């Protein structure tokens, strides 16, 4: 939905972040105590977004707490979508960094498709911002994936309205400048990196561009 400086619906330089209604997230019923794939015992729902829900679960095999993202039923039934998820998991498993949440596996069981991830039980990004715990104001924020970018912007960073500055790469990466958001976030370039475009070097190219370095 476009929201404009002078309430002009034709001006697309401003964008307003709209929450995804809960009824838009269709998944098979989830309840506490349910066990996925005979292994993951669901304890509670800890997040909800446009592509599904995230639950805290206990991995009975490894005796460890994990986070599981269960995707919407309509997406779980699309082969092209599940193949893309599996590919992203394979790439994500190659990354090992203390500031990156680890992704362990992608599974399809009990009529559901889900990602098994590290449980980052240290509060949310919104909590960090509201508490003033950020050690430094970031030079920019990059979020990969359309639905993920929406959720990070609205629910994580608290961005309610942003100005569209342009694109770093045609059809791939858009740059927004928050104008209605918490003080720590206003003005920080927010880069929306589409999840299904580009190649393995595109993200690095974007980072180099933001740093002012030749790619």
- Contact between 83 and 108 (Cβ < 8 Å): no
Provide the pLDDT for residue 196.
63
Contact 189, 176 (CB under 8 A): yes
- Please provide the CATH number assigned to the domain covering 22-118: 1.10.510.10
Q: Which of 55-64, 133-142, 150-159, 204-213 has the lowest mean pLDDT?
A: 133-142
**Whole-number percent of the chain with pLDDT over 70:** 73
Both tokens of 144, joined, read 């990969």
12: Cβ contacts below 8 Å, ≥ 6 apart: 2, 164
More confident residue, 55 or 77: 55
Q: What is the pTM of this model?
A: 0.60
Q: How confident is the model at residue 13 (pLDDT cuts 50, 70, 90)?
A: very low
The highest-confidence range among 9-23, 139-153, 160-174, by mean pLDDT, is 160-174
Q: What is the pLDDT of residues 67-115, one digit of tens each?
A: 999 988 777 778 887 887 888 888 888 888 777 788 999 998 888 889 9
In the chain, % of residues over pLDDT 90: 23
6-18 burial, b if ≥16 CB within 10 A, otherwise e? Answer: eeeeeeeebbebe
* Predicted pLDDT of residue 125: 64
Average pLDDT (164-187) is 86
97-101, 115-119, 176-180, 197-201: the lowest-pLDDT one: 197-201
**Three-state SS annotation for the chain:** CCCCCCCCCCCCCEEECCCCCHHHCCCCCCCCCCEECCCEEEEEEEEEECCEEEEEEEECCCCEEEEEEEECHHHHCCHHHHHHHHHHHHHHCCCCCCCCCCEEEEEEECCEEEEEEECCCCCCHHHHHHHCCCCCCCCCEEEECHHHHHHHHHHHCCCCEEEEEEEEECCCEEEEEEEECCCCCCCCCEEEECCCCCCCCHHHHHHHHHHCCCC
pLDDT at position 65 over 90: yes
């Amino acid at each position: 939905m476009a929201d404009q400086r002078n309430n002009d619906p034709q001006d697309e330089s401003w964008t307003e972040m709209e929450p995804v209604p809960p009824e838009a997230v269709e998944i098979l019923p989830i309840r506490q105590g349910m066990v996925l794939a005979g292994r993951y015992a669901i304890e509670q729902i800890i997040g909800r977004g446009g592509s599904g829900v995230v639950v805290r679960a206990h991995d009975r095999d490894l005796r460890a707490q994990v986070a599981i993202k269960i995707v919407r039923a309509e997406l779980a039934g699309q082969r092209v979508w599940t193949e893309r998820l599996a590919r992203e998991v394979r790439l994500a498993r190659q990354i090992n960094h203390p500031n990156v949440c680890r992704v362990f596996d992608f599974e399809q069981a009990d009529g559901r498709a889900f990602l098994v991830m590290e449980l980052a039980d240290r509060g949310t990004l919104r909590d960090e911002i509201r508490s003033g715990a950020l050690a430094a104001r970031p030079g920019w924020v990059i979020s990969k994936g359309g639905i993920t970018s929406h959720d990070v912007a609205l629910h994580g960073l608290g961005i309610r309205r942003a100005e569209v500055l342009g694109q770093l790469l045609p059809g791939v990466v858009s740059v927004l400048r928050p104008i209605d958001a918490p003080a720590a976030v206003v003005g920080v370039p927010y880069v929306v990196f589409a999840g299904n475009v580009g190649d393995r070097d595109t993200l690095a190219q974007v980072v180099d561009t933001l740093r002012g370095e030749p790619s």
